[in-house]
Chains A and B, each alone.
Chain A
Amino acid sequence: MKLTIEFGGGLELLCNSVKVHNVKVDPQDGEEKLTMKGLLSWVCKNLIKERPEMFMKGDTVRPGVLVLVNDCDWELSGQLETPLEEKDVVVFISTLHGG
């Protein structure tokens, strides 16, 4: 399915400074339907070019990263279990501290 994946707050530095990625992703690891869990492993393999530890910790994103599925915190849609639909927009954004 076609998805738009965006990185912000400095996470784009892990993918050659490209913020917006229009991609095609199939269900991963034997999933029937693509979920955020499958998408995270796909992103790690295909989009993250350096320092994967700055993106993931264990099987989820590292502390300080907000995950938004269609402009909504993934905590509200089931985190790793969030099912994804055609043309969904997934944003990974690192919280900023500067001022």
Chain B
Amino acid sequence: MESNGGDASQILGEIESLKAERKDIDDRILALEAQLREISITNGTVKSDASSPSVLKAASHPNHQLSPDAIYRYSRHLLLPSFGVQGQSNLLNSSVLVVGAGGLGSPALLYLAACGVGHVGIVDHDVVELNNMHRQIIHTEAYIGLPKVESAAHACRLINSTVKIVAYKEALHTSNALEIFSKYDVIIDATDNVPSRYMISDCCVVLGKPLVSGAALGLEGQLTVYNYKGGPCYRCLFPSPPPTTACQRCSDSGVLGVVPGVIGTLQALEAIKIASGIGEPLFARMLLFDAFSGSIRMVKIRGKSLRCEACGEKSAFTPAYFQEFDYEKFTNSPLSAAPPKLNLLPPDSRISCKEYNEKVLGNEPHVLIDVRPAHHFNIVSLPNSLSMPLSGLETRSPEISAALNEAQPQEGGGSSSGAHLYVVCRRGNDSQRAVRLLHNMGFPAAKDIVGGLESWAREVDPNFPAY
């Protein structure tokens, strides 16, 4: 019995291994058949093999070159009477470049890859961070710390392996923009800063490329198509750059994740319309999206300006002029959305995080004012700090004096300059503005904590939450 049992298990094992082998072989046959189909399609005709059973071949259509797989994959596009074979064929033969793989670029890229744009390019020099994930939906947690272009390219390939994806892991500059842009039919501006927006628009003007421009911040979004069919370019609409103080960043002002999602998706739509030649692209009009009130407003904007410095009659913009143009100087802001680092105060009005920590540990009598907006203070704050947002600080003198009196050591002597006054903010810029203001308000000893809570988290308390 025992030997029989042994035989049986041996036989079962052999059956299992043969089945596994058969599955491997079946898989290989399927893969080879798929490969053969691709080859037959590109060669135009299927060479009839004598050994293969004769079947009635689907007539290869003279008007398009969609493979059977493409017909099936894009069938819902092909079924659209207004889009159909022509729209899809145009799309498959087109190329679209997305500059920025962030909040706008994420949904745009997903749709462009899925819908069968033949060649998709991605430019980004950034890495994926945890605080990107709520809106930059193309990235997954596994890619935190890795380049956004690699993450985005991988996600696109998983969705549609038949699309050519090219990843440019570099920042866009005047030195590489012309060469990269020249390889694409349509450009999508999914960046997050003013100089990049001027640079991308000018480059599109120089090369004659349509530009699908989107922007989102807070609960609002904007969308339009520039440099297309006699419509305006970015400079026609905005000949002079805005003051730097008017340029809010998502990292300062916040953004509801789905808002760039909506605008980025609409950018994909406009690119698809231009690339397929179907529909009425949104040029000389602008879409204004207000997520708070749920309103979408379509407004008419000016046409191309004859006096425009980029696309007007007397434009100096040649490829050479473009390559020499200093966009950071022109807009007075950096090409990355990195926050500025101000240095407004003399060293004796400043104190490092480590020094402040020593004073706290040494029980030095002091008052700590946190000048961030109240909703920032609600996220996280240092113990015993007083919330006094910078915007209303000039009216808070009585409270500050009272707090200093209370903090002052009470033993006999009672020197009037007992307690110190420190100011903290998120990154150490507003705290310097606040200290300048406090000096004028009659608190000449006020000092700012260099680098703010970001430095505190880096240098003193790694467990202090960053945001």
> Interface on A for B, CB 8 Å cutoff?
8-10, 19, 53-54, 62-66, 68, 71-73, 75-76, 91, 93-99
Report the separation of the CA atoms of residues A62 and B247 in the bound assembly, to the nearest whole angstrom: 13
User: Which residues does chain A contribute within 8 Å of B293, judged by CB atoms?
Assistant: 19
Decide: A62 and B243 in contact? CB cutoff 8 A.
yes
Among residues of A, the one whose C-beta sits closest to the C-beta of B300 is A72
B246 at the interface (CB under 8 A from A): yes
On whether A96 and B221 interact (CB within 8 A), knowing A54-B246, A64-B238, the answer reads: yes
User: Which residues of chain B come closer than 8 Å to A72, judged between CB atoms?
Assistant: 299-300
> Given that A63-B238, A99-B102, A99-B104 are contacting pairs, would A93 and B288 also be in contact in the complex, using a CB cutoff of 8 Å?
yes
**Chain A nearest CB: distance from B132 CB in Å?**
12
Task: Of the listed stretches B21-29, B191-199, B355-363, name the one at the interface; the rest are far from the partner chain.
Answer: B191-199
- Do residues B302 and A96 form an inter-chain contact, with CB atoms below 8 A? no
Chain A residue nearest to B267 in the complex (CB): A99
Chain A: minimal CB distance from B364 (Å): 36
- Give the 3 A-B residue pairs with the shortest CB-CB distance, closest first: A64-B242, A98-B217, A63-B240
26 residue pairs of the A-B complex, CB under 8 angstroms, read A9-B220, A9-B222, A54-B245, A63-B238, A63-B241, A63-B242, A66-B237, A68-B299, A71-B299, A72-B299, A73-B301, A73-B302, A94-B246, A95-B215, A96-B220, A96-B221, A96-B248, A97-B197, A97-B215, A97-B217, A98-B103, A98-B192, A98-B250, A99-B191, A99-B192, A99-B264
| B239 and A63 contact, CB distance less than 8 A | yes
- A94 vs B221: C-alpha distance when bound (angstroms): 11
Q: Which residues of B contact A (CB under 8 A)?
A: 100, 102-105, 190-194, 197, 214-218, 220-222, 237-243, 245-250, 253, 255, 260, 264, 286, 288, 290, 293, 297-302
Q: Is the CB of B241 within 8 A of A64?
A: yes
Indicate if the CB atoms of B214 and A99 lie closer than 8 Å: yes
- B105 partner, pick from A8, A54, A65, A99, beta carbons under 8 A: A99
Query: Which of A9, A19, A71, A75 contacts B302, CB < 8 Å?
Result: A75
State the CA gap A80–B398 with chains docked (Å): 45
| Given contacts A10-B246, A10-B248, A64-B238, A99 and B301 within 8 Å (CB-CB) | no
Best-buried of A64, A71, A99 by chain B (most CB within 10 Å): A99
Q: Which residues of A contact B260 (CB under 8 A)?
A: 98-99
Q: Are A98 and B288 within 8 A (Cβ)?
A: no
Cβ–Cβ < 8 Å partners of B192 in chain A: 97-99
Cβ contacts under 8 Å, B297 to chain A: 71, 91
User: Are B240 and A97 in contact, CB atoms less than 8 angstroms apart?
Assistant: no
- By beta carbon, the residue of chain B nearest A51 is B245
Give A8 to B216 CA distance when docked, in angstroms.
12
> What chain A residues lie within 8 Å of B237 (beta carbons)?
66, 95
CB-contact partner of B100 in A8, A93, A99, under 8 A: A99
- The answer to whether B216 and A98 have CB atoms under 8 Å apart is yes
Closest Cβ neighbor of B301 among chain A residues: A73
How long is the Cα–Cα vector from A9 to B197 in the complex, in angstroms? 17
Selected from A19, A75, A95, A99, the residue in CB contact (under 8 A) with B242 is A95
Quote the shortest CB–CB distance from B217 to chain A (angstroms).
4
- Inside 8 A of B100's CB, which chain A residues have their CB? 99
Chain B residue numbers with a CB within 8 Å of A91 are 297, 299
| Chain B residue nearest to A76 in the complex (CB) | B302
Q: Separation in Å of the B391 CB from the closest CB of chain A?
A: 8
Closest to A72 in B: B300
Residues of the B chain whose Cβ atoms lie less than 8 Å from the Cβ of A63 = 238-243
In the complex, how many angstroms separate the beta carbon of A31 from the nearest chain B beta carbon?
A: 25
Q: Which residue of B lies closest to A64 (CB)?
A: B242
* Residues on the A chain within 8 Å of B239, using CB: 63
Complex Cα gap A93–B299 (Å): 12
